[in-house]
Amino acid sequence: QVQLVESGGGLVQPGGSLTLSCAASESIVSIYDMAWYRQAPGKQRELVAIINSVGITNYGDSVKGRFTISRDNAKNTVYLQMNSLKPEDAAVYYCRGTWGPRTYWGQGTQVTVSS
């Protein structure tokens, strides 16, 4: 059973930045992919960013140019750098990782964007 632990959420003003971390209990070298999702109250969970085994990334349209996903294999950690945050970015952010046929989710970290 792989555990994913998100951290880094909090309160930030519009236009500010946050970096989320997702620490895995297993090596991420052999992952199929890892991704960040978010879910705001009353809305469906949506894909924010994804990174595959060879480092290719993709982003949701609403965050392109503002968010960056990256990975540190030595620390078994995936990051989400979020810049130019908007009130509509407020949500619970979840990390998802896929090892072979198995997918695991973290518990989520809250991001609030408000002045």
pLDDT in tens, the chain (115 residues): 899 999 999 999 999 999 999 999 998 988 889 999 999 999 999 999 999 989 999 999 999 999 999 999 999 999 999 999 999 999 999 999 999 899 999 999 999 999 9
Q: Strands 33-39 and 46-52, how do they pair?
A: antiparallel
CA dist 52 and 28 (Å) reads 10
